[in-house]
Structure 1
Amino acid sequence: MTEKEVILTPEGLRKLEDELDHLKSVKRKEVAERIKAAISYGDISENSEYDDAKNEQAFIEGRVITLEKMLRNARIIQEHEVNTEVVSIGATVILKDVEFNEEVEFTIVGSAESNPTENKISNESPVGQALLGKTKGTVVEANVPAGMIQYEILDIIKK
Protein backbone atom coordinates (compact mmCIF):
# COMPACT_ATOMS: atom_id res chain seq x y z
CA MET A 1 0.00 0.00 0.00
CA THR A 2 1.46 3.35 -1.01
CA GLU A 3 1.49 6.10 1.56
CA LYS A 4 -0.23 9.38 0.83
CA GLU A 5 2.00 12.17 -0.40
CA VAL A 6 2.10 15.11 2.01
CA ILE A 7 2.36 18.46 0.25
CA LEU A 8 4.14 21.15 2.26
CA THR A 9 5.49 24.62 1.81
CA PRO A 10 9.01 25.25 3.17
CA GLU A 11 7.39 26.98 6.18
CA GLY A 12 5.13 23.97 6.80
CA LEU A 13 8.12 21.65 6.61
CA ARG A 14 9.96 23.74 9.21
CA LYS A 15 6.96 23.66 11.57
CA LEU A 16 6.64 19.88 11.37
CA GLU A 17 10.39 19.40 11.86
CA ASP A 18 10.34 21.76 14.86
CA GLU A 19 7.37 19.92 16.41
CA LEU A 20 9.09 16.56 15.92
CA ASP A 21 12.33 17.86 17.44
CA HIS A 22 10.43 19.30 20.44
CA LEU A 23 8.59 16.03 21.04
CA LYS A 24 11.78 13.98 20.85
CA SER A 25 14.10 16.28 22.80
CA VAL A 26 11.77 17.88 25.38
CA LYS A 27 8.42 16.14 25.78
CA ARG A 28 9.81 12.60 25.91
CA LYS A 29 12.14 13.58 28.76
CA GLU A 30 9.37 15.39 30.65
CA VAL A 31 7.06 12.38 30.45
CA ALA A 32 9.84 9.97 31.44
CA GLU A 33 10.43 12.10 34.56
CA ARG A 34 6.70 12.10 35.35
CA ILE A 35 6.57 8.30 35.02
CA LYS A 36 9.64 7.93 37.20
CA ALA A 37 8.12 10.21 39.87
CA ALA A 38 4.78 8.37 39.76
CA ILE A 39 6.51 4.99 40.18
CA SER A 40 8.29 6.35 43.26
CA TYR A 41 4.88 6.81 44.92
CA GLY A 42 4.60 3.03 45.21
CA ASP A 43 1.75 0.82 43.96
CA ILE A 44 1.08 1.74 40.29
CA SER A 45 -2.15 -0.29 39.99
CA GLU A 46 -4.26 2.64 41.24
CA ASN A 47 -1.89 5.51 40.57
CA SER A 48 -3.59 8.19 38.45
CA GLU A 49 -0.36 10.15 37.98
CA TYR A 50 1.25 7.06 36.49
CA ASP A 51 -1.76 6.37 34.25
CA ASP A 52 -1.85 9.98 33.02
CA ALA A 53 1.87 9.99 32.28
CA LYS A 54 1.66 6.66 30.41
CA ASN A 55 -1.29 7.98 28.36
CA GLU A 56 0.66 11.12 27.49
CA GLN A 57 3.67 9.00 26.58
CA ALA A 58 1.51 6.94 24.21
CA PHE A 59 0.12 10.12 22.63
CA ILE A 60 3.61 11.58 22.14
CA GLU A 61 4.94 8.37 20.59
CA GLY A 62 1.94 8.20 18.25
CA ARG A 63 2.48 11.80 17.18
CA VAL A 64 6.21 11.16 16.62
CA ILE A 65 5.36 8.22 14.34
CA THR A 66 2.79 10.33 12.47
CA LEU A 67 5.22 13.23 11.97
CA GLU A 68 8.04 10.94 10.82
CA LYS A 69 5.70 9.32 8.29
CA MET A 70 4.52 12.74 7.04
CA LEU A 71 8.09 13.98 6.63
CA ARG A 72 9.11 10.76 4.86
CA ASN A 73 6.31 11.29 2.33
CA ALA A 74 6.68 15.05 2.01
CA ARG A 75 6.81 16.89 -1.28
CA ILE A 76 7.96 20.47 -0.79
CA ILE A 77 6.41 23.16 -2.98
CA GLN A 78 9.16 25.69 -3.70
CA GLU A 79 8.32 29.33 -4.41
CA HIS A 80 9.47 29.08 -8.05
CA GLU A 81 6.90 26.29 -8.56
CA VAL A 82 3.99 28.52 -7.53
CA ASN A 83 2.03 29.62 -10.57
CA THR A 84 0.32 33.02 -10.50
CA GLU A 85 -1.59 32.41 -13.74
CA VAL A 86 -3.82 29.76 -12.15
CA VAL A 87 -4.54 28.92 -8.52
CA SER A 88 -2.13 26.25 -7.29
CA ILE A 89 -0.80 24.95 -4.00
CA GLY A 90 1.43 27.56 -2.40
CA ALA A 91 -0.36 30.48 -4.06
CA THR A 92 -2.14 33.20 -2.13
CA VAL A 93 -5.51 34.05 -3.60
CA ILE A 94 -7.32 37.35 -3.11
CA LEU A 95 -11.04 36.79 -3.41
CA LYS A 96 -14.26 38.78 -3.29
CA ASP A 97 -17.14 37.16 -1.45
CA VAL A 98 -19.89 37.77 -4.03
CA GLU A 99 -22.75 37.79 -1.48
CA PHE A 100 -21.18 40.16 1.07
CA ASN A 101 -18.89 42.10 -1.30
CA GLU A 102 -15.95 41.57 1.08
CA GLU A 103 -12.36 40.74 0.18
CA VAL A 104 -10.70 37.71 1.74
CA GLU A 105 -7.27 36.24 1.26
CA PHE A 106 -6.34 32.56 1.46
CA THR A 107 -3.12 30.69 0.91
CA ILE A 108 -3.66 27.24 -0.58
CA VAL A 109 -1.61 24.63 1.28
CA GLY A 110 -1.56 20.86 1.71
CA SER A 111 -3.89 19.42 4.33
CA ALA A 112 -1.03 18.83 6.80
CA GLU A 113 -0.42 22.55 7.27
CA SER A 114 -3.89 24.01 6.82
CA ASN A 115 -4.84 26.48 9.52
CA PRO A 116 -8.00 28.51 8.93
CA THR A 117 -7.10 31.00 11.68
CA GLU A 118 -4.01 31.92 9.60
CA ASN A 119 -6.09 31.89 6.36
CA LYS A 120 -4.24 28.78 5.18
CA ILE A 121 -6.77 26.45 3.59
CA SER A 122 -6.25 22.92 2.39
CA ASN A 123 -6.20 22.02 -1.26
CA GLU A 124 -8.63 19.26 -0.21
CA SER A 125 -11.18 21.60 1.43
CA PRO A 126 -14.33 22.56 -0.52
CA VAL A 127 -13.05 26.09 -1.14
CA GLY A 128 -9.51 24.89 -1.94
CA GLN A 129 -10.82 22.33 -4.43
CA ALA A 130 -13.09 24.92 -6.07
CA LEU A 131 -10.18 27.36 -6.51
CA LEU A 132 -7.46 25.02 -7.80
CA GLY A 133 -6.71 25.49 -11.49
CA LYS A 134 -8.90 28.60 -11.84
CA THR A 135 -7.74 31.98 -13.20
CA LYS A 136 -8.21 35.63 -12.23
CA GLY A 137 -11.72 36.89 -12.86
CA THR A 138 -13.32 33.46 -12.45
CA VAL A 139 -16.27 33.08 -10.08
CA VAL A 140 -16.20 29.80 -8.17
CA GLU A 141 -18.82 28.13 -6.01
CA ALA A 142 -18.06 25.97 -3.00
CA ASN A 143 -20.42 24.01 -0.82
CA VAL A 144 -19.35 24.78 2.76
CA PRO A 145 -21.08 23.87 6.04
CA ALA A 146 -22.90 27.25 6.03
CA GLY A 147 -24.23 26.59 2.49
CA MET A 148 -23.15 27.54 -1.01
CA ILE A 149 -20.60 30.36 -1.20
CA GLN A 150 -19.36 32.23 -4.27
CA TYR A 151 -15.97 33.89 -4.64
CA GLU A 152 -14.58 35.93 -7.50
CA ILE A 153 -10.82 35.50 -7.92
CA LEU A 154 -9.35 39.01 -7.88
CA ASP A 155 -5.66 38.11 -7.84
CA ILE A 156 -3.22 35.21 -7.49
CA ILE A 157 0.10 36.08 -5.86
CA LYS A 158 3.21 34.54 -4.29
CA LYS A 159 3.85 35.46 -0.69
Structure 2
Amino acid sequence: MEWLGSTILRTLWRPTINAMRTKHQYHAEKPRIVRRYGYEEKIWSGGLLPRGPGHRLPIPEYRPANVWTERKALFGQNDYIDILGPGTIHPVKTLYTIPSWIRGVSGHEYHILLRKKKMFARTGTPKIRPTKWKELEKRLSFLYRKLNRKTKTGMSPN
Protein backbone atom coordinates (compact mmCIF):
# COMPACT_ATOMS: atom_id res chain seq x y z
CA MET A 1 0.00 0.00 0.00
CA GLU A 2 2.88 2.27 0.69
CA TRP A 3 4.20 1.94 -2.82
CA LEU A 4 0.78 3.00 -4.19
CA GLY A 5 0.77 6.18 -2.18
CA SER A 6 4.35 7.03 -3.06
CA THR A 7 3.84 6.42 -6.80
CA ILE A 8 0.70 8.51 -6.89
CA LEU A 9 2.43 11.30 -5.06
CA ARG A 10 5.39 11.15 -7.42
CA THR A 11 3.22 11.36 -10.52
CA LEU A 12 0.67 13.91 -9.37
CA TRP A 13 2.64 16.13 -7.03
CA ARG A 14 5.19 18.48 -8.52
CA PRO A 15 7.14 20.94 -6.41
CA THR A 16 6.19 24.57 -6.99
CA ILE A 17 8.94 26.93 -8.03
CA ASN A 18 8.69 30.47 -6.71
CA ALA A 19 10.08 32.91 -9.21
CA MET A 20 12.15 35.44 -7.35
CA ARG A 21 12.12 38.95 -8.73
CA THR A 22 15.44 40.62 -9.40
CA LYS A 23 14.50 43.46 -7.09
CA HIS A 24 14.60 41.24 -4.00
CA GLN A 25 17.88 39.41 -4.37
CA TYR A 26 19.94 37.94 -1.62
CA HIS A 27 22.68 40.18 -0.31
CA ALA A 28 25.48 37.99 -1.73
CA GLU A 29 23.94 38.04 -5.21
CA LYS A 30 23.61 41.80 -5.47
CA PRO A 31 26.00 43.51 -7.87
CA ARG A 32 28.65 45.65 -6.22
CA ILE A 33 28.48 49.39 -6.81
CA VAL A 34 31.77 51.18 -7.35
CA ARG A 35 31.72 54.19 -5.08
CA ARG A 36 33.93 57.30 -5.31
CA TYR A 37 35.50 56.16 -8.60
CA GLY A 38 38.75 58.03 -9.26
CA TYR A 39 38.94 59.58 -5.77
CA GLU A 40 42.38 59.68 -4.20
CA GLU A 41 42.59 59.80 -0.43
CA LYS A 42 44.78 62.72 0.70
CA ILE A 43 44.83 61.84 4.41
CA TRP A 44 47.44 59.36 5.52
CA SER A 45 45.86 56.11 6.70
CA GLY A 46 48.83 53.79 6.46
CA GLY A 47 49.80 53.45 10.10
CA LEU A 48 51.13 55.43 13.02
CA LEU A 49 53.59 57.70 11.24
CA PRO A 50 52.16 60.61 9.23
CA ARG A 51 54.65 60.15 6.37
CA GLY A 52 55.73 57.63 3.81
CA PRO A 53 58.99 55.70 3.98
CA GLY A 54 62.03 57.84 3.20
CA HIS A 55 60.21 61.18 3.44
CA ARG A 56 60.84 63.52 6.34
CA LEU A 57 58.30 65.99 7.61
CA PRO A 58 59.00 69.59 6.61
CA ILE A 59 59.88 71.67 9.64
CA PRO A 60 59.18 75.39 9.25
CA GLU A 61 61.98 77.82 9.84
CA TYR A 62 61.80 79.51 13.24
CA ARG A 63 60.96 83.19 12.99
CA PRO A 64 60.46 85.02 16.28
CA ALA A 65 57.47 87.38 16.40
CA ASN A 66 58.21 91.08 16.23
CA VAL A 67 56.94 92.46 19.52
CA TRP A 68 57.49 96.06 18.42
CA THR A 69 55.13 96.20 15.47
CA GLU A 70 53.04 99.34 15.45
CA ARG A 71 49.85 97.51 16.34
CA LYS A 72 51.43 95.75 19.35
CA ALA A 73 53.47 98.72 20.53
CA LEU A 74 50.55 101.15 20.54
CA PHE A 75 48.01 98.70 21.95
CA GLY A 76 46.00 100.35 24.72
CA GLN A 77 47.68 103.76 24.40
CA ASN A 78 44.38 105.64 24.77
CA ASP A 79 42.89 103.55 27.57
CA TYR A 80 43.50 106.13 30.31
CA ILE A 81 43.49 109.31 28.24
CA ASP A 82 40.54 110.71 30.20
CA ILE A 83 42.31 110.11 33.56
CA LEU A 84 45.94 110.88 32.72
CA GLY A 85 45.43 113.40 29.92
CA PRO A 86 44.52 117.10 30.10
CA GLY A 87 40.81 116.25 29.86
CA THR A 88 40.18 118.11 26.62
CA ILE A 89 39.65 115.03 24.49
CA HIS A 90 36.83 112.52 24.96
CA PRO A 91 37.77 108.81 24.81
CA VAL A 92 35.25 108.27 21.99
CA LYS A 93 37.29 110.57 19.76
CA THR A 94 40.24 108.18 20.00
CA LEU A 95 38.36 105.32 18.31
CA TYR A 96 39.87 105.91 14.88
CA THR A 97 39.31 102.51 13.29
CA ILE A 98 35.59 102.15 14.12
CA PRO A 99 32.92 103.25 11.61
CA SER A 100 31.35 106.59 12.41
CA TRP A 101 27.82 105.31 13.09
CA ILE A 102 29.11 102.97 15.83
CA ARG A 103 31.41 105.45 17.52
CA GLY A 104 30.09 106.41 20.94
CA VAL A 105 26.76 104.58 20.61
CA SER A 106 25.49 102.86 23.71
CA GLY A 107 22.46 100.87 22.74
CA HIS A 108 21.14 97.75 21.12
CA GLU A 109 21.40 96.65 17.49
CA TYR A 110 18.19 98.50 16.63
CA HIS A 111 19.56 101.85 17.80
CA ILE A 112 22.86 101.35 15.97
CA LEU A 113 21.07 100.48 12.72
CA LEU A 114 18.75 103.47 13.09
CA ARG A 115 21.78 105.71 13.43
CA LYS A 116 23.41 104.06 10.40
CA LYS A 117 20.28 104.53 8.31
CA LYS A 118 20.04 108.18 9.35
CA MET A 119 23.69 108.82 8.42
CA PHE A 120 23.56 107.02 5.06
CA ALA A 121 20.10 108.20 3.94
CA ARG A 122 21.48 111.47 2.51
CA THR A 123 24.40 109.81 0.73
CA GLY A 124 24.23 107.78 -2.47
CA THR A 125 24.02 104.47 -0.61
CA PRO A 126 20.30 103.76 -1.28
CA LYS A 127 20.87 104.06 -5.04
CA ILE A 128 24.41 102.67 -5.26
CA ARG A 129 23.77 99.63 -3.03
CA PRO A 130 20.03 98.94 -3.17
CA THR A 131 20.31 95.37 -1.91
CA LYS A 132 22.31 96.38 1.17
CA TRP A 133 19.85 99.21 1.79
CA LYS A 134 16.89 96.86 1.50
CA GLU A 135 18.52 94.38 3.90
CA LEU A 136 19.14 97.22 6.38
CA GLU A 137 15.51 98.34 6.23
CA LYS A 138 14.33 94.73 6.48
CA ARG A 139 16.43 94.14 9.60
CA LEU A 140 15.20 97.41 11.10
CA SER A 141 11.57 96.48 10.54
CA PHE A 142 12.15 93.04 12.09
CA LEU A 143 13.83 94.54 15.17
CA TYR A 144 11.11 97.20 15.45
CA ARG A 145 8.39 94.55 15.49
CA LYS A 146 10.36 92.39 17.92
CA LEU A 147 10.93 95.26 20.33
CA ASN A 148 7.29 96.29 20.24
CA ARG A 149 6.05 92.76 20.84
CA LYS A 150 8.55 91.53 23.42
CA THR A 151 9.39 94.65 25.44
CA LYS A 152 7.45 95.04 28.66
CA THR A 153 6.05 98.54 29.07
CA GLY A 154 4.83 98.52 32.66
CA MET A 155 1.57 97.80 34.39
CA SER A 156 -1.70 98.50 32.62
CA PRO A 157 -4.29 100.61 34.50
CA ASN A 158 -6.91 97.82 34.48
Q: Is this a same-fold pair by TM over 0.5?
A: no
TM-score (norm 1): 0.23
Of Structure 1 and Structure 2, the greater strand share is in: 1
Of Structure 1 and Structure 2, the greater helix share is in: 1
The structure number with the bigger radius of gyration is 2
